[in-house]
A and B are shown apart, each in its own frame.
Chain A
Amino acid sequence: MGRSAGPATLILSSLADGAKHGYALTKDIEAFAGVRLAPGTLYEALSRLEGQGLIEALASDDRRRPYRLTAAGAEALHAHLQAQRHVADVGLRRLAGNWGVA
């Protein structure tokens, strides 16, 4: 996911729950991560993820086009979150051992 890992992780995590269009993505991410993605940032990441084949656009009758996670996107998100979890585990263990922060 590269440099855009921040917004990309948030978008992929949101889409892991089901397909969503732009505004629904913004609200969902705000609800579960406390971060409001600006519209330009959101679509910059969406177009990049679509180009990488990690998400795909669905047909829509109105102007709001929903996106869903692809199998490759689910795999990439899983690998990224596992790596993040490892980093978090190491960091928490060291904090607990050296700083007494549990």
Chain B
Amino acid sequence: MTAAGGAPPAAAGDAPAPTPGSLERRARRLLRWYPGSWRARYGEEFAELLLAELAEQPRAWRRTVNVAHCGLTARLAAAGLAGPPAGTAGARASLGTLTCSLAVFLTFGTAMWAQLAVGWQWAPPATTATAVAMLVMSGSLLFLAVLALLAAVPVGWVAIMAGFRRQARGLRTPALLTGAASLVLVIGGRHFGNGWPGTGGHWWPHQGLAPGGIAAFGWASTLSVTSYWAHPATLASFPPAELAWMVASPVALLSLATGAAQLVRRLELSPRVLAFETRIGRAAAAGMTAFLAGALCWVTQAGPGPHGLFRTGDIDAAGLAVLAAALATGWLAISRARPVPPARAAGQQ
């Protein structure tokens, strides 16, 4: 074995020589660019290399850029969005990232759709674009909801079986997070759905496209996605309970997405289940694309409609940007989810 050959020489120059403590702190700061799983495996030895490099060359912006770039690449790889195919674990990471993307997409998509559904309850669509957008967005949302349920069934089953076999190590926290967040969303969504502004109006053709209960629940669950945050004075006039819900509901949505993604990443899913989840993921990405097309049609073509009921603003443009980003991430994740085929997996065992 070849040894490192002692400590590197201290840097020459006018500046005082950095102390070992300051070098260690800088090395630790650089290490933060990497994800936790990478740090757990390579962190100590990489910190040691960085200490030697820092002692030899205290200031080197290229090194900082290199570490940041490689650390971010490692983070993308840990999320199943970059790097070489990593087998079953990589496929689970990609599916976990797709779960997060879908959660973000559904949150912002439902908020946009709920806005359109309220207008739909009060006035007939003034333009074909509004009608097309409403039909496409409603159909896509229904499709995505069905897919989410289909995807959740095998994952939930494997999680329950792991709990019965006492193999739930590392699963308890995400399972509790998912369950508690779902409960909060269902209770809060139903309660605050009673204040849905689409309860009046007349019976227009196609108005019954979205059942009022579902539209109200979607509206209440995504009440926090609003431009009112930019108008604190108006926001202050809201009932305190509603304000509290506007703060609590995004926390619940975030907890639900995080818990579900962690479950997908940590559960030992069989190759057959992974293949099923991957097919569901591809269908979800297609559904998200259709929804985005509908939303784009509404925001860019529909016009304000009667009484400005279908008017769009900056929040909708921002929503479209978020939807596009979530969709791009989702497509990237699902394109990298390549589980080992069941036959080959069996052959490897």
Residues from chain B with Cβ under 8 Å of A41 in the complex: 66, 70
Residues from chain A with Cβ under 8 Å of B45 in the complex: 21-22, 63-65
Q: Measured between C-beta atoms, what is the minimum distance from A36 to chain B in Å?
A: 10
Q: Whose C-beta in chain A lies nearest to the C-beta of B71?
A: A40
B5 touches A40 (CB 8 A): no
Q: In the complex, A49→B4 CA distance in Å?
A: 21
Residues from chain A with Cβ under 8 Å of B70 in the complex: 38, 40-41, 43-44
The interface centre, meaning the residue of A19, A21, A23, A24 with most chain B CB atoms within 10 A of its CB, is A23
Q: In the complex, A20→B47 CA distance in Å?
A: 16
Chain A count of residues within 8 A CB distance of the other chain: 30
Residues from chain A with Cβ under 8 Å of B4 in the complex: 20-21, 23-24, 27, 64
Q: Whose C-beta in chain A lies nearest to the C-beta of B46?
A: A43
Is there a chain B Cβ closer than 8 Å to A61's Cβ? Answer: no
Q: In the complex, A52→B62 CA distance in Å?
A: 28
Is there a chain B Cβ closer than 8 Å to A53's Cβ? Answer: no
B50 touches A24 (CB 8 A): no
Q: Measured between C-beta atoms, what is the minimum distance from A44 to chain B in Å?
A: 5
Is there a chain B Cβ closer than 8 Å to A47's Cβ? Answer: yes
Is there a chain A Cβ closer than 8 Å to B69's Cβ? Answer: yes
Is there a chain B Cβ closer than 8 Å to A91's Cβ? Answer: no
Is there a chain A Cβ closer than 8 Å to B84's Cβ? Answer: yes
Which of A20, A44, A46, A62 has a CB less than 8 Å from the CB of B1? Answer: A20
B84 touches A38 (CB 8 A): no
1/0 contact string of A1-39 vs chain B (CB within 8 Å): 010000000000000011111111011100000000011
Q: Whose C-beta in chain A lies nearest to the C-beta of B48?
A: A63
A39 touches B50 (CB 8 A): yes
Q: In the complex, A26→B60 CA distance in Å?
A: 16
Residues from chain B with Cβ under 8 Å of A43 in the complex: 42, 46, 49, 70
Is there a chain B Cβ closer than 8 Å to A51's Cβ? Answer: yes
Q: Measured between C-beta atoms, what is the minimum distance from A30 to chain B in Å?
A: 11
A66 touches B49 (CB 8 A): no
Residues from chain B with Cβ under 8 Å of A19 in the complex: 1-2
Residues from chain B with Cβ under 8 Å of A62 in the complex: 48
Q: Measured between C-beta atoms, what is the minimum distance from A51 to chain B in Å?
A: 7
1/0 contact string of A61-89 vs chain B (CB within 8 Å): 01111101000000000000000000000
Interface residues of B in 1-39 (CB under 8 A from A): 1-5, 8, 38
Is there a chain B Cβ closer than 8 Å to A48's Cβ? Answer: yes
The interface centre, meaning the residue of A38, A46, A65, A66 with most chain B CB atoms within 10 A of its CB, is A38
A18 touches B2 (CB 8 A): yes
Which of A23, A44, A51 has a CB less than 8 Å from the CB of B49? Answer: A23
Is there a chain A Cβ closer than 8 Å to B268's Cβ? Answer: no
B66 touches A22 (CB 8 A): no
A48 touches B84 (CB 8 A): yes
Which of A17, A42, A47, A63 has a CB less than 8 Å from the CB of B44? Answer: A63
Is there a chain A Cβ closer than 8 Å to B131's Cβ? Answer: no
Which of A18, A28, A47 has a CB less than 8 Å from the CB of B42? Answer: A47
The interface centre, meaning the residue of A42, A44, A48 with most chain B CB atoms within 10 A of its CB, is A44
B52 touches A23 (CB 8 A): yes
The interface centre, meaning the residue of B44, B45, B83 with most chain A CB atoms within 10 A of its CB, is B45
A42 touches B74 (CB 8 A): no
B contacts, CB < 8 Å to A:
1-5, 8, 38, 41-42, 44-50, 52-53, 62-63, 66-71, 73-74, 83-84, 86
9 A-B residue pairs with Cβ-Cβ distance under 8 Å, sorted by A, are A18-B1, A22-B48, A27-B5, A38-B70, A39-B50, A42-B49, A48-B84, A62-B48, A66-B1
With A17-B2, A22-B45 already in contact, 4 other A-B pairs whose C-beta atoms are closer than 8 Å: A21-B49, A23-B48, A42-B49, A47-B42
A contacts, CB < 8 Å to B:
2, 17-24, 26-28, 38-44, 46-48, 51, 58, 62-66, 68
